[in-house]
Structure 1
């Protein structure tokens, strides 16, 4: 009895072990072969694909198999697929009889389930391996559904040459997705895995046609199709040479390959957020402009469209893709490439200064020759306005006012703000960039720039939706992969830029133009209102245009991937026309709603754009960002004392107070006044002082425009090798006054009306003394570098 029990116990244990081993089979991933990277549009259509690492065109497994292919492959390979458990013993016994009779292998009898196992193991076809396949097929049926097994087969079956899987075969042989194929086309593909080395498109065409037609007849017998469908399908041609796969978003495909691990995407196939129609049309637009610009050796162009409402990528063209010409470097994704942003950061500074209470929308900003620690910015047209409102300085993209604004705001503060807004390429300390940060002295990527502008658009759009609160995720980078993320509910009271500041900035950006091209912007027609900004980097290496509406952000870059500059590579001339052609592709929508509760109506001096002071005469009510209440009052309107006739200024030393007139006067500093009155004919200079009045403040009368006090200057050599000259420039409030110039206490010259003087002082430190005809003195210092030393940057 004990022996019997012992035997039964051993048998039970053995059974348990066998059962455990059976269930432990097929652990982990069944197929470990590499798959092609595939990017689909938002409608599921193929945009781009790349060959797998092993040189095979093999797409990842899909959830469903097209009904036609399912019916064809079941009819051809395994008609009892839905009734067996992985092994069709009837088919196997029939195959054994046929093989014995033929004295060789003429039939396999393998089910689709067994073929999936064989494809995953890639072992020699022996009796022993067949037995293992039977066991694993039974286990596979317990682990996967019939639909999943069909999907595994369709994705991994060989289709001739280096084509693996139905999806890849459909595109390689027919140039379309598998679910769009006809019965004849599907039947052709269904017979290929049975003998891919002998029968594939381009070879043995009669045999391929016969196998396809036999399958079509079988489909009629099994009542999958009727006879007329089969007859028509037999007339269809078989494919010839394999076709190239679409490459309509190759740069996004490469981006996905590089970011897949970071994005934690398991499959090498993604359904992107790209709109197929817009992507194809954008490719055509960029190719057209690229062909035009190449005549000037401008070889590359890229564009990015973001949907601000959804925070997704609508279109991604990293370069006008022309792989047939390797010299064009069209494979380089310029959306990811760090480049000089030119003037495209100026709206961000304008918005930041509004947000932090430094300026109001129309505050006057100095526009005069400027030298700051050896740095001398220049406007695009090399001219000066003396003073210009902040919004006009932005719309005209003037460099000197931008530098003056950054000097006031502090470049360290702006540097920190840019990093928080999402500009991720600022890898050096703030001091490395200095004031040149606002004129393109750093690098940005189109991706960061577009996403920063999208964050501003989203913040303004969400004003009503979030009841005046802010969503910190508004500045998160756009998604290019379809997701089902839930909306963030953690709204905040404060943001990097408030609603009112963004609203005012977009208003200023509506009519952006570049100096020297004031009429050019009128050539750009658009069916919708667009806030836009252009940019040109130093040396004409990068041309930019970025535009926003409540629905979209569009960013365009034109240039050469290798950084070579070209004459005429200017944002308004090369990038802006592309920008507006792109906006024509996009639906028209409403303009931004006014965030009334985030604006304050205050008294503003119309002439200066500052908060009105007690001496401002022309005062208007204006909606400004809430922080505008913190700005300073107008510094340019002052009370002046005139004689009874109002023709001369006086003091109590030379005129009785009872005889004085007291009048508000708009007074700019001498250097600003010097240029301002040239372009503003209604500007009234201060009357001169009455003779005998003691005026002790020479700085109020005279100002040295160049060089500034303490400046370091460099005098270059002329073409003939002789030493050049520097032009000293001063302004006097009384234009008819004479100025006597002295260098190192030695008289040099006298100027009247226009106070400019060309001199060539020796290297070293010098004292410059200006004396007017009334004896008022202005003393300043400057240093001339030795000619062997380099000029300051």
Structure 2
């Protein structure tokens, strides 16, 4: 438009050199400027509906506009069938006139004079666009203004643009505005999918929108539609047979409900719209509509059973690993008829206790730092750290368990022991660096309970973190064993609003490639619910790394799983935080997770990053780097940082008689009768729980008569309470305070322990060393002495409240 004005100015300058010419030039320039400024921008300011579509353009959900109208944002393109119908019905010379059609105006004037009333307005589609944008009374003066502005509209817009403006803003009856909204409300389909008959109905409606009301003027609407179909046939747009068949189609009845495939994602888009800096309220999402529907059906199916147990809510998220795009987004079970269920709450963005779902991240972090190897033994004994006493889900103890097995079995005490070694003060910022941004309180606020769910995480960020970890491992070869820091990024749900950051190649990573591989391997060893590991026998089974989580009080059930291609995260619970018996991740969320994975293609498994591994000797029993005392070590691949790990602390060379039944020394046995044996020796507390679960564990043999033990070693250990423990004893049913159960372990079978509380003898135990005592509140000291005179002593406190 500016170029056209410039050309006109140049033409006037070259034509007029005199003073009068300059005046004429100024007048002309002024008129041109007024003409240019006559049309406001934007032309329409009415609020539009929020609309989200899937990656292929299929409608997922829409909301009514702020003024109560169903008015979709303009798409910029009008389907060819509707364009033919509307121009044939409203403005047959639309593509030839400059905004005003003199022939149509002359015909309208003649009809109005003959009829003695306004029969026809003679307005073109361009004039109607202006009228709709201005919303003024229909008078002769306004008609003249519309004609002038229609010419201006034609000067600045293409015919296709003008037709798109008309289609987006024309009234289609009731509270429906625009072709898109009308197609979905009256026919339940996109405009591109409508038949000739359906397009003809929509073409005649803006001229008389009241005709669409069911039960009113149906005959008149039918006549208008059929007449338009005959016109299309007479102009050769369609043949007469097509027109006759189209006339047999029924008229639309009551309005159709709009699709509600992703209602929670729609609400999220509405809330985030102002920060996304988009120019339209229509968004193209990354969702796959077919997968979205299938996942919703799975969640709904399981919810019918869960609701019988008072579990009202569930959510599921499917991400594409490579891009982080969201393929399915089920924010909650959609049950608007049950207001108490709070199904409107989007649980994908809600902060909930993650249960055990952070344990694999800690495992990977410790492998990356070389603090453990994949199968390093971790203590699993009664533990009290300050006033914190973690418990395993089954309330049992293994004594010692490989780190990978502790992860696959989701044992709590080993996880707390690992975090105690790693330091929660380090783990807190580490979680934030991999994508968990909801930990907005200081690390001391969460403490060691962080690893058991003592913090808040959203399914959105949890799934995004696992997708980032899988992405890093997938790109192992792409970046030639280096790392792209940009691989750690949030998930995406819009095609255009967010773009992941560019490449940032580094030699080191937050988590090492090999550590990720071993972590996913450990997660793959978890037994699937209800199948008792039999699934591994089927060749068609998919290899999935997965983890469940259950929050304290059975309030949240989690399952997160991944393959090289996809991440699936499922949450089950109640939006109001009410706990329910049996609300565990393994029972409620995991079955949904695996049904969703059955919908997804199988991409195989991660390639082992062998260049980030080293082969080294590892102790078979302890999982530590092999020491000289370890018998028959295995040569295994471990992550490169694992060479910094500790050597086996549990194997020691001892001296026994030839039969290996008694320990001996040179003081009591001839040198020729002494045998050096490499022995696996756990500390007493670990041994106490480890021995019943491992029949191949051999206790240290006793010393032969006359032999004395001059070697250092712990023979007796307090299991509960630990030193400086603070204990609260609850009241029993009778109102009296209960007893403290003291528990100790002794390496020598049949040994006696003499117990003293505050220097007062309180009892004696043999073999099984447990003692129940009633103790008053305050500071106390417990002292244990065995029959060899070995002594241990430690303090504890009994809390009054």
- Give the TM-score range, shorter chain: over 0.9
- Which of the residues 554, 558, 565 maps onto 1:540? 554
Separation (CA, whole Å) in 2 of partners of 1:651 and 1:775: 21
The equivalent residue for 2:768 is 754
How many pairs are equivalent?
Answer: 782
- Residue aligned with 1:100, SS: helix
Is 1:38 matched up with 2:13? no
Which of 583, 586, 609 in structure 2 is aligned with 1:595?
A: 609
Which position in structure 1 is the counterpart of 2:648?
A: 634
Q: Does 1:481 find its partner at 2:514?
A: no
Structure 2 residue corresponding to 1:72, chosen from 85, 104, 108: 85
**Partner SS, residue 543 of structure 1:** strand
**Is 2:373 the counterpart of 1:360?**
yes
Mapped contact 2:662–2:703 kept (Cα < 8 A): yes
CA distance in 2, matches of 1:595, 1:267: 45
Aligned mate of 2:314, from 291, 301, 309 = 301
Is the 8 Å Cα contact of residues 489 and 500 (structure 2) preserved in structure 1?
A: no
16-25 vs 432-441, which moves further? 16-25
CA deviations 1:564-602 (Å, max 9, x no partner) are 000010111111111111011111122111111111111
TM-score (norm 2): 0.95
Deviations along 1:108-135, whole A, 9 cap, x unmatched? 1111111111111111111221121112
Report if aligned partners of 1:199, 1:207 keep a CA contact under 8 Å in 2. no
Partners of 2:533 and 2:671 in 1: CA distance = 55
Listed as ranges, the gaps of 5+ residues in structure 1 are: none
Partner of 1:726: 740
Mapped partners of 1:394, 1:199: distance in 2: 63
Task: Report if aligned partners of 2:398, 2:690 keep a CA contact under 8 Å in 1.
Answer: yes
Q: Which residue number in structure 2 is paired with residue 736 of structure 1?
A: 750
Shift of 1:304: 0.3
Contact 2:211 2:220 in 1 (8 A): no
Q: What is the aligned counterpart of 1:706 among 720, 739, 758?
A: 720
Q: Deviations over 1:38-81 (max 9, x none)?
A: 11111211111111111100001012111100000000011111
Q: Which residue of 2 aligns with 1:152?
A: 165
Deviations for 1:403-437, whole angstroms, at most 9, x for unmatched residues? 00000000111111100111111011000000000
Work out the CA distance in 1 between the residues paired with 2:269 and 2:534: 39
Alpha-carbon distance between aligned partners in 2 of 1:485 and 1:720, rounded to the nearest angstrom:
64
Deviation (angstroms), 1:25: 2.6
Shift of 1:231: 0.8
Map 1:128-277; keep pairs closer than 5 Å: 128-277=141-290
1:623 matched to 2:637? The reply is yes
Q: Aligned partners of 2:585, 2:76: CA distance in 1, in Å?
A: 47
5 Å matches for 1:15-54? Answer: 15-54=28-67
1:552 aligned partner = 566
Matched, 1:280 2:293: yes
Note if contact 2:197-2:229 (Cα within 8 Å) is conserved in structure 1. Answer: yes
State the shift of 1:603 in Å.
0.8
Instruction: Specify the SS of the correspondent of 1:465.
Output: coil
- Contact 1:362–1:610 (CA under 8 A) maintained in structure 2: yes
Matches within 5 A, 1:96-115: 96-115=109-128
Deviation for aligned residue 1:489: 3.8
Residue 89 of structure 1 and its aligned partner are, at CA, apart by 1.5
Q: Which residue of 1 aligns with 2:600?
A: 586
Secondary structure, counterpart of 2:268 in structure 1: helix
Alignment check: 8 A CA contact 1:39 1:47 kept: yes
SS of the aligned residue for 2:587 comes to helix
Tell which deviates more after alignment, 369-378 or 310-319: 310-319
Aligned to 2:691: 677
Which of 429, 436, 443 aligns to 1:423? It is 436
Alpha-carbon offset, residue 662 of structure 1: 2.5
Describe the SS at the equivalent of 1:464. Answer: coil
In structure 2, the partner of 1:576 is 590
Q: Per-residue CA shift, 1:473-513, capped at 9, x if unaligned?
A: 22211221224969834322222111100100000011224
Instruction: Check whether the contact 1:274–1:316 (CA below 8 A) recurs between aligned residues.
Output: yes
Describe the SS at the equivalent of 1:11: helix
- Which stretch of the first structure deviates more once superposed, 213-222 or 395-404? 213-222
Instruction: Give the Cα–Cα distance (whole angstroms) in 2 for the partners of residues 596 and 202 of structure 1.
Output: 74
The answer on 1:393 being equivalent to 2:402 is no
Task: Give a deviation string over 1:214-241, Cα, whole Å, max 9, x none.
Answer: 1111111221111111111111110111
- Helix, strand or coil for the counterpart of 1:73? helix
Tell me, in whole angstroms, the C-alpha distance in 2 between the residues paired with 1:318 and 1:365: 38
Contact 1:159–1:200 under 8 Å retained in 2: no
Contact 1:360 1:609 in 2 (8 A): yes
Cα distance in structure 1, aligned partners of 2:429 and 2:212: 65
More displaced 10-residue stretch of structure 1: 463-472 or 290-299: 463-472
SS in 1 for 2:438: coil
What secondary structure is seen at the aligned counterpart in 2 of 1:19?
helix
Check 1:744–1:651 CA distance in 2 against 1; reply closer, same or farther (3 A cut): farther
Q: Contact 1:533–1:545 at 8 Å: present in 2 too?
A: yes
Find 1:687's aligned residue among 701, 704, 719.
701
Cα deviation, residue 196, structure 1: 1.1
Residues 99 and 153 of structure 2 are in contact (CA less than 8 Å); yes or no, is this contact kept in structure 1?
Answer: yes
Give SS of 2:210's match: coil
SS of 2:433's equivalent in the other structure is: helix
Please state how far the C-alpha of 1:263 moved relative to its aligned partner: 2.2
Q: Is the partner of 1:64 in helix, strand or coil?
A: coil
Alpha-carbon separation, structure 2, partners of 1:676 and 1:83: 91
Matched, 1:89 2:102: yes
**Which region of structure 1 is more displaced relative to structure 2, 656-665 or 420-429?**
656-665
* Contact map agreement 2:211 2:221 (CA 8 A) in 1: no
Structure 1 match to 2:3: none
RMSD of aligned C-alpha atoms? 1.9
Q: Is the 8 A contact 1:397 1:513 kept in 2?
A: no
CA contact (8 A) 1:509 1:531 kept: yes
CA distance in 2, matches of 1:199, 1:692: 109
Alignment partner of 1:463: what SS? coil
Residues 426-575 of structure 1: matches in 2 within 5 Å?
426-483=439-496, 488-513=502-527, 520=532, 522=534, 527-575=541-589
Matched-pair contact (CA < 8 Å) for 1:301–1:559: yes
Of residues 324, 328, 349, the one that matches 1:315 is 328
CA distance in 2: counterparts of 1:565 and 1:151, whole angstroms: 53
User: Which has the larger displacement, 334-343 or 699-708?
Assistant: 699-708
Match for 1:374 among 382, 387, 396? 387
Give CA-to-partner distance per residue, 1:663-686, whole Å, 9 cap, x none: 221111000001100100111111
Is the 1:201–1:238 contact (alpha carbons within 8 Å) kept by the matching residues of 2?
no
1:118·1:133 contact (CA, 8 Å) conserved in 2? yes
**1 CA distance for matches of 2:354 and 2:517?**
22
Q: Distance in 2 between matches of 1:697 and 1:712?
A: 34
Shift of 1:15: 1.7
Shift of 1:21: 1.1
